[in-house]
Amino acid sequence: MTPPHTGPALSIRDVSKHFGATKALIQLDVDVIPGQIHAIVGGNGSGKSTTVKILAGVHRADTGTITVNGHRWDARHFTRPMSRQAGLRFVHQDLGLFPDMTVAENLALGTSMQTARITPIRWPAVRSEARALLDRFELTLRPDDRLGDLRPSEQTMVAIARALNVTDGQPGVLVLDEPTASLPGPDADLLLEHLNRHRARGQTVIYISHRLAEVRAVADTVTVLRDGRNVLTAAMESLTQDQLIDHIVGPAQDVTRHRDRGTGARPAGPRRRTGGVVVSGLRSRGLERLDLTIEEGEILGLTGLAGSGFDEPLQVLFGLRRASAGTMLIDGRRYEPAGPRDALRERLVYSPADRHQDGCFLDLSLRSNLTAPRLRDFWSKGWLSIRRERSDAEVARRSFGIKAAGVEIEVGALSGGNQQKVLLARCLALSPRLLLLAEPTQGVDIAARNEIYDLIRAAVRSGTSVLVSSTDLDELARLCDRVLVMAQGRVVTEHALAGLNVAALASALHQMPKEAA
């Protein structure tokens, strides 16, 4: 008879992972004690998501091992079937449920409840097994309830029950990735109560969240990741919330040397209070009575946790999403874009977060990418002047420091930083009054990042205003004049020059009241 395993439920050893020049994880070591809730926290880019994807077998590590209940696996070859065989079970923020199906049907999908392909579904048996599973997890739901009619916390618990159902009889590890990100406070509390019951029954849980108040309330142990490294693993009761934030943020950074703000960033002369863009009471799918003002020559930042709606104002202003209520004014005139064409007429220009999917034409040349919105400038008497287009693109390549052998090279062959410069050059060629930048340096190395910041500041000195949405707090602290922190589609805190730093922004994000977060 095999003796029971007495070591860690999960042990990660020397796991490293890089994506190109970016080191996402560096020799990561983590031990998870059986029967505990072990939280993993960290800022944007700290390595949390990469860790989850390696455990799930989505990414292959460059080095290291993963040991689950005494069974060791090579992290370089750890696949999805291996993750499942090891007993690792995942519930992500996107629950993977079907709102128009019943609770029983959702529980049956992907589990042993399914019957053979040619055998009729035995619905009484499916409902009976669902009822037994709901009882085991102390869920007061009915198998025939429509999932979409349930509270958000109940839907999450259905996803957890489905995940843990296949580990019945083996000591599995449940990995919850931002499970409360889109839950209102009362529903988050209900979910935490259920997790406490799971722990009392001996379930091991890895809990990944930005909400430090919840983490402190539910976790036994916490691991802090920063820049791909484990900088702290400690008993939760040994840390105050301020100490935890200090470990997440890291050593205080002097960001003032990186930014040209105040007197240098805005055009000379008195600051205009009547111009710019004013948004009042704006409602949309992700916004709830949003108010903000972007003054001429200002860089305004927006940030928030997942589901906060911080990235939606840019899409509404550019006409990609429609507002259901509220007003938008440009220099005192009412602005109601029916689509991007209306935004461009008012010289509002948008650079999307996903440059590969929505921004660059990867299989087209650098020349074609740079001149795409202005092709009419190169037409004469029914002919497109490739010579003039090539000359214009070459000037932009040199002005924006785009490192490429020539303007005929495919943009897909350029580095991420250079692709981002291409997007910025294309936007600024339209002489925008308001530049809308979503995650402007996502996946960009530090050298290219600083070059992009300099280009943005130069545009601002020429009179352009900028609205930036970003999850990179360091970026916002370096670049912006003001930053608004959002939750549930509203602005909850504002940070101006004197109090604008990474620590203040991190504290605002992680200490939001639950009714806001």
Domain positions in the chain are: 1-87+171-249, 97-169, 256-347+431-510
DSSP secondary-structure letter at 29?
E
Three-state secondary structure string covering 338-375: CCHHHHHHCCEEEECCCHHHHHCCCCCEHHHHHHHHHH
- Give the bridge partners for 383, in sequence order: 380
Question: What is the pLDDT at residue 259?
Answer: 46
Count other C-beta atoms under 10 Å from residue 230's C-beta.
21
Overall CATH class of domain 1-87+171-249: alpha beta
334 pLDDT tier (thresholds 50, 70, 90): very high
Question: What is the pLDDT at residue 2?
Answer: 53
Question: What is the pLDDT at residue 117?
Answer: 59
What is the spatial distance between Cα 304 and Cα 473, in angstroms, rounded to a whole number?
10
Please give the model's pTM, rounded to 2 decimal places.
0.61
Question: What is the pLDDT at residue 255?
Answer: 41
Count other C-beta atoms under 10 Å from residue 383's C-beta.
8
Is pLDDT above 50 for 162? yes
Question: What is the pLDDT at residue 358?
Answer: 85
What is the spatial distance between Cα 7 and Cα 2, in angstroms, rounded to a whole number?
14
Residue found under tokens 């809730």: 37
Residue found under tokens 């009547």: 274
The pLDDT tens digits for 122-146 are 778 888 888 888 887 777 788 888 9
The pLDDT tens digits for 40-89 are 998 766 888 889 999 999 999 999 999 998 899 999 999 999 998 898 98
275 pLDDT tier (thresholds 50, 70, 90): low
Question: What superfamily in CATH does domain 256-347+431-510 come from?
Answer: P-loop containing nucleotide triphosphate hydrolases (3.40.50.300)
In contact, 91 and 175? CB cutoff 8 Å: yes
Question: What is the pLDDT at residue 279?
Answer: 93
What the block records as the tokens of 110 is 């992907």
Residues 105-143 as b/e (b if ≥16 CB within 10 A, e otherwise) read bbbbeebebeeeeeeeeeeeebbebbbebbeebebebeb
Residue 478 burial class via C-beta count within 10 angstroms: exposed 0-12, middle 13-18, buried 19 and up: buried
The pLDDT tens digits for 362-399 are 889 999 999 988 888 888 878 888 889 899 999 999 98
Mean pLDDT, rounded, for 500-505: 85
What angle do helix axes 502-510 and 241-249 make, rounded to 10 degrees? 130
Strands (E) located in 202-324: 204-208, 221-226, 229-235, 277-283, 290-294, 299-304
Domains 1-87+171-249 and 256-347+431-510 share a fold: yes
* pLDDT above 70 as % of the chain: 86
- Return the sign of the alpha-carbon dihedral for residues 66, 69, 72, 73: negative
